[in-house]
Structure 1
């Protein structure tokens, strides 16, 4: 692969001008055109403003400037035509993003030349009446205060599976299992697993434990007459509410996203540290393994 057009996806609120203009300048020096959504045209100079649809269909790769939320948005943007997406970390915890602004000068040549490995990500395809949505982390149904709770039946591949009565219900991909689903008490699932996690939050009756289903399964959630009007969130972004009688159908699209990894082993080690911050404890010797080699050598010399 040699990219001739790179799309920039910018954090929706934070000022990323410095990093964006560095990326544009580097791309131009190497004969690569940079596309940006027309809505962001005023935030970076030198990039070609295009419609969202044109950006998604014309780019050879995507550079996401922000945190995991920005990265998820970039992946959703090109889910119909997956191209490599590289995340530059300008956010908070950052499980998906890999490089920092300091790494940009070495990361961009590799993105342009195709010198990287790809980490495939599955996505949820969500059908809600006439609406279609894509989620790389999760779909959540949540109660509005004072407007009732989640009351929904679950069917899997057309067979009745049971019902939920809870404050929120989260359907997550394996990669998304470390987000809302985990906070609600769901398991951490390896991204290499082909599956779906369904986790109720604050269950009152019905299915009260997380479920892990096959990636080939098709789920349907039907809101009963007792359900409240619920907020629908896709990767943390609010969508149209659902009401009693509504149905949501969820299926998995394998390999819907292509995340760029420049150093997969280093990224995996960093992710283990971040997961430990989410109360996944590591032993002291395991934490030491995650330190840079020169730091480990100094500690070993000191201990000996």
Structure 2
């Protein structure tokens, strides 16, 4: 098998140095080249090559993200022109996309090298926001500014007027994104194996008040209505336009736009199902701890004691 080059995509603020050290030690043993984005040059040793952000995916056979789901989504967007397999290393708090915990990383990298993994294709939403082209792997959302009115927008499907919304936020998501903002807004969970687009209002006050599930062949258009409050447009959680009071967002479903490495798909799915159940529990983390046997609580307490 030809040698691969790994592109590293780092969480913007978390300390990633222990994981980077693990990857570097592994790469040295296997003579695998590493690269990072120019803006991360100062966070890695000099032996890791820095390249322009828009060239990282093109110059890498695979990408490894170190962070949470947001970091993974950023890597998928980097590779949108020519999708490359992306392996996620988990440093976040929850994470539905990332699969590998730091202690599992050396074995996961070995499997990358031997091709012992599967690839999970992910769809995205190709969006035109007031003339600017963007992509969203989770969701695109129109969000009100507190104290400055509400989101008021018309919905058209395949050019036909469907109805209107007056709400706090309006979320359009992929099946992958159905566990994110859309879920928090009361939207349905959509199987990753399904191809669909979901439009969900958050705190609707008038107009359409339920989620609308559309086929991938249908196009979605959202147009701000006269009198709408100022709206922020978020793509995968990033604000790309702020305080808009007019304009149109056109949304098209694009299949197989991103590739995610899966080492144990069944185990990953079981973990995600458990995480979703925990989200619905009205308990704080310290309250959940009280449900554990005393011996296990003591063991966890010892693990969390600060080093001296």
8 A Cα contact 2:232 2:244, kept in partner: no
> Match of 1:216, SS?
coil
1:274 and 1:2 map into 2 onto residues whose CA distance is 38
8 A Cα contact 1:2 1:114, kept in partner: no
Matched with 2:31 is 31
Gapped runs of 5+ residues in structure 1?
Answer: 282-304
2:101 and 2:148 map into 1 onto residues whose CA distance is 43
Per-residue CA deviations over 1:152-210 (Å, capped at 9, x if unaligned) read 10111111111111110000111110111111111111011110110001111111111
Matched with 2:258 is 257
Matched with 1:294 is none
Matched, 1:188 2:203: no
124-133 vs 13-22, which moves further: 124-133
Matched, 1:218 2:219: yes
1:268 and 1:165 map into 2 onto residues whose CA distance is 35
1:54 and 1:113 map into 2 onto residues whose CA distance is 25
- State the aligned residue count: 281
Alignment of 1:1-304 (within 5 A): 2-45=2-45, 46-241=47-242, 243-279=244-280
Task: Compute the displacement of 1:57 (Å).
Answer: 1.1
Task: Compute the displacement of 1:232 (Å).
Answer: 0.9
1:238 and 1:209 map into 2 onto residues whose CA distance is 25
**TM-score (norm: length of structure 2):** 0.88
C-alpha distance 280-219 of structure 1, shift in aligned 2 (>3 A): farther
1:26 and 1:152 map into 2 onto residues whose CA distance is 52
> Match of 1:91, SS?
coil
**TM-score (norm: length of structure 1):** 0.89
> Match of 1:56, SS?
coil
Task: Compute the displacement of 1:64 (Å).
Answer: 0.5
C-alpha distance 195-24 of structure 1, shift in aligned 2 (>3 A): same
Gapped runs of 5+ residues in structure 2?
Answer: 283-308
Task: Compute the displacement of 1:243 (Å).
Answer: 2.6
